């Protein structure tokens, strides 16, 4: 069984499109582990391009954690790698609970005892994230590494095939966001920003005696000055790029 982990970011959509267009072998299933906290633009993108993949024979399965998917679990414990006041970061429960385990439950239910080759969306610029599977029935494969493709190469490949380049995929409130990602949401001031502020306030007292924050400044999100030099009226010669992601 060949399965692809489809997070709907640039790299995983490139692998899915390559499979659909015959540049990679046909996958049996592309599994989207839906955290339910993706950016609005990602959900719009998957509505547009999920159909495109489906009509080209790519079966898409959407899986979710069976329990409540908030930033706090049912016992009030923080699920996300929040920044701790005066310390480092909280341990990350979200990737396992929201992504890895739902994908594994799906694979166990559908593989009929067969081994699984699971394609992971890592490109050459993220090669340090490559890890072998920790279970016998799954073997990880990294097709973009095999093709020596970076994230920019993926975007170029999509454009060359008249396909849309997806927005970065991650939970809106992910504490791994860089300054550019926070600033972009703050400037848009839309539902994603409001949800991030809500979650930031929600997690604050989840680990007494320490306060928790989604932003590395370890201040309430609404109180942080997220302007860059350009916003302050100064010239900027470089643009920042959003690279952070949690992966599998
Ligand atoms: S994107 Fe961030 S918050 Fe969401 S599952 Fe990954 S590490 Fe957790």
Residue of 3, 46, 11, 7 whose CA lies nearest to 154: 11
Ligand 1 centroid from CA 172, angstroms: 9
**Strand pairing category for 212-213 and 60-63:** unpaired
**Atom number in ligand 1 closest to CA 37:** 4
pLDDT in tens, 133-142: 999 999 999 9
Mutate to test the pocket of ligand 1, among 8, 77, 82, 170 (most ligand atoms within 8 A of CB): 170
pTM of the model: 0.89
Range of lowest pLDDT (22-36, 140-154, 221-235)? 221-235
Element (H, E) at 105: helix 101-110
Ligand 1 centroid from CA 153, angstroms: 24
**Atom number in ligand 1 closest to CA 79:** 8
Ligand 1 centroid from CA 105, angstroms: 19
Backbone φ/ψ region at 86: left (φ over 0), alpha (ψ -120 to 50), beta: left
Residue whose CA is at the smallest distance from ligand 1 atom 3: 174
| Mean pLDDT for the stretch of residues 51-79 | 91
pLDDT in tens, 192-228: 999 999 999 999 999 899 999 999 999 999 999 998 8
Residue whose CA is at the smallest distance from ligand 1 atom 4: 171
Mutate to test the pocket of ligand 1, among 36, 89, 94 (most ligand atoms within 8 A of CB): 94
Name the residue with higher pLDDT: 85 or 51.
Answer: 51
Ligand 1 centroid from CA 113, angstroms: 30
SS3 content of the chain, % helix, strand, coil (to 5): 35, 15, 50
Q: How does residue 242 score in pLDDT terms, banded at 50, 70 and 90?
A: very low
Q: Is the CB of 80 under 6 A from ligand 1?
A: yes
Q: Is the CB of 65 under 6 A from ligand 1?
A: no
Residue 37 neighbours by CB distance under 10 Å: 21
Q: Is the CB of 97 under 6 A from ligand 1?
A: no
């Amino acid at each position: 069984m060949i399965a692809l982990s489809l997070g709907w970011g640039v790299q995983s959509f490139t692998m899915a499109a390559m499979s659909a267009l015959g540049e990679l072998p046909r996958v049996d299933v592309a599994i989207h582990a839906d955290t339910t906290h993706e950016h609005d633009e990602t959900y719009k993108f998957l509505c547009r391009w999920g159909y495109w993949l489906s009509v080209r024979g790519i079966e898409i399965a959407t899986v979710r954690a069976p329990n409540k998917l908030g930033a706090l679990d049912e016992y009030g414990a923080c699920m996300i790698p929040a920044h701790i006041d005066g310390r480092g970061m909280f341990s990350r429960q979200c990737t396992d609970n929201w992504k890895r385990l739902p994908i594994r439950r799906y694979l166990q239910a559908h593989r009929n005892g067969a081994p699984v080759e699971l394609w992971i969306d890592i490109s050459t610029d993220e090669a340090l994230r490559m890890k072998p599977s920790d279970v016998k029935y799954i073997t990880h494969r990294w097709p973009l590494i095999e093709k020596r493709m970076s994230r920019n190469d993926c975007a170029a490949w999509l454009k060359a095939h008249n396909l849309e380049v997806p927005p970065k995929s991650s939970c809106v409130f992910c504490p791994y966001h860089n300054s550019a990602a926070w600033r972009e949401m703050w400037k848009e001031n839309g539902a994603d920003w409001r949800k991030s502020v809500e979650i930031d306030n929600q997690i604050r007292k989840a680990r007494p005696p320490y306060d928790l924050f989604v932003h590395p400044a370890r201040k309430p999100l609404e109180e942080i000055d997220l302007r860059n030099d350009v916003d302050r009226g100064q010239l900027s010669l470089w643009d920042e790029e959003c690279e952070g992601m949690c992966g599998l």
